[in-house]
Structures are given as structure tokens and as C-alpha cells.
Chains A and B, each alone.
Chain A
Amino acid sequence: EAGVVQSPRYKIIEKKQPVAFWCNPISGHNTLYWYLQNLGQGPELLIRYENEEAVDDSQLPKDRFSAERLKGVDSTLKIQPAELGDSAVYLCASSLGGTAHNEQFFGPGTRLTVL
């Protein structure tokens, strides 16, 4: 069974440019999470989806970040415009349901470098 797929794995952009990350969760997983992992830190939740609905986006900086999960499967996270401080790893995770009993499976992440 394929795991959580993310692309690209690496992205280097100039500041003020837009960037987008894509996530394909494990088949059948209706809950999807985007986490931000700064260097030397643990991941922090940006947004959580139940199917196509964003049920927790309280930590998403909405002035420059946006996310969508139009058909309740794949998801895209966008930053526009990117700032130097956005350099980090962006992790996607999915689970069968949004409960503590359903393990969250993580993708390999996208490492973003903003120059």
C-alpha cells in the first residue's frame, strides 16, 4: 500500500514568489493534516481537513497561506508571497478519521528554501 505522497521533495524560491505543495493521502483516509516543521523543532499543525472541510485552521497564517482539498482527497498548500522565515519542511499526514485511535501517517515532507 502506498504511503502519503508529497511533491515536490525540495523547492528553492526567491522571496516574494509564490509556491505550492501537493499532498496525496493514503487511499481511504478522510482526515488530512498539514504541519510545519522548522529546523530543530517538532512539527506544528497548520490545518486539518475532514474530507473537504477545513475543521481546524486556527494556526494557518491566512494573510499569505492558503490550502484546499476540493474533492476530499488530494490537497494543496500555497504560500503567496513567500518570506525568508517560511524556509522549513512542510509535512502532510493522513488518518482514517480524526480521532486519537486512528494513527496519523506522515509523508516525507517538502523542504522549502526561500532566498
Chain B
Amino acid sequence: AQTVTQSQPEMSVQEAETVTLSCTYDTSENNYYLFWYKQPPSRQMILVIRQEAYKQQNATENRFSVNFQKAAKSFSLKISDSQLGDTAMYFCAFMNPYRGYALNFGKGTSLLVTP
């Protein structure tokens, strides 16, 4: 079974600063997908960024980028130029395409962006 671990329950960052959220996972598969989702206080889950394991290049989406270390099974999210609207729960998720397409989520990291 795949497990996803987010070791930082809560984090805080000042506006305009950079913050990195950690995620590690455990799998014996070679081909899989990793995601970061954002869940603001309104509870609607939103996809932030996606990474295919077979791609060596780290994914980027505007101010969001990942550091994907396949050998270390690490998938961290970097948020640059943090904005107040980035305040939310952030969930790391794993998908094994050979066992259906359900997302296996970590417990989440609560990020607070302060003025």
C-alpha cells in the first residue's frame, strides 16, 4: 500500500517570502503521479500542481514549484512570493495508475500567510 507523509502539521510564512512544504511517500511502483492540492477554509479542494514520476524535470506553475527526488521518494512544494490568499491546507497526494485512479492523500499541512 502507498503511504503519504506530511511531517509539518502547521507552517507560517510572511507575505512575499518563500516557503517549502515537505512530503514523502512510500511505494514499490516505478510509474506513478504526485499532486499538491490546496484546500482553503471554504473547503473546495483545488489542484495546485502535478508531477509524473517518469519525468525528471520538476513541475512549475507560476509561483508554485516542486522538488521531486524520486530516489528519496520526496516531493516538496515551494511557494514563492507568498500571498495572503495562499493561506490554506495543503495536501500531498499519490496516484498509482495500476491500482485505479484514486488519490491517496497525506494528512495535510496548514499554511498561514501573515502580512
Q: Report whether A45 and B44 are in contact in the complex, using a CB–CB cutoff of 8 Å.
A: no
Q: Please give me the residue from chain A that is nearest to B99 by CB atom.
A: A56
Q: Point out the residues of chain B lying under 8 angstroms from A103, CB to CB.
A: 47, 50
Interface stretch among A22-30, A65-73, A105-113? A105-113
Specify which of B50, B97, B100, B108 is in contact with A42 (CB 8 Å cutoff).
Answer: B108
Number of residue pairs A-B, CB distance < 8 angstroms: 54
Q: Report whether B102 and A33 are in contact in the complex, using a CB–CB cutoff of 8 Å.
A: yes
Q: Point out the residues of chain A lying under 8 angstroms from B42, CB to CB.
A: 108
Q: Report whether A42 and B95 are in contact in the complex, using a CB–CB cutoff of 8 Å.
A: no
The interface size bin for chain A is 20 to 34
Q: Report whether B43 and A45 are in contact in the complex, using a CB–CB cutoff of 8 Å.
A: no
Q: Point out the residues of chain B lying under 8 angstroms from A95, CB to CB.
A: 101
Q: Report whether B44 and A108 are in contact in the complex, using a CB–CB cutoff of 8 Å.
A: yes
Does B25 interact with chain A (Cβ within 8 Å)? no
Chain A, residues 79-115, CB within 8 Å of chain B (1/0): the string is: 0000000000101010100111001101111000000
Does B103 interact with chain A (Cβ within 8 Å)? yes
Q: Point out the residues of chain A lying under 8 angstroms from B43, CB to CB.
A: 89, 108-109
Q: Report whether B47 and A107 are in contact in the complex, using a CB–CB cutoff of 8 Å.
A: no
Specify which of B44, B101, B107 is in contact with A41 (CB 8 Å cutoff).
Answer: B107
Does B45 interact with chain A (Cβ within 8 Å)? yes
Q: Report whether A98 and B108 are in contact in the complex, using a CB–CB cutoff of 8 Å.
A: no
Q: Which of A55, A106, A107, A109 has the most CB of B within 10 A?
A: A106
Residues of B within 8 A of A (CB): 4, 33, 42-47, 50, 52, 91, 93, 95, 97, 100-103, 105-108
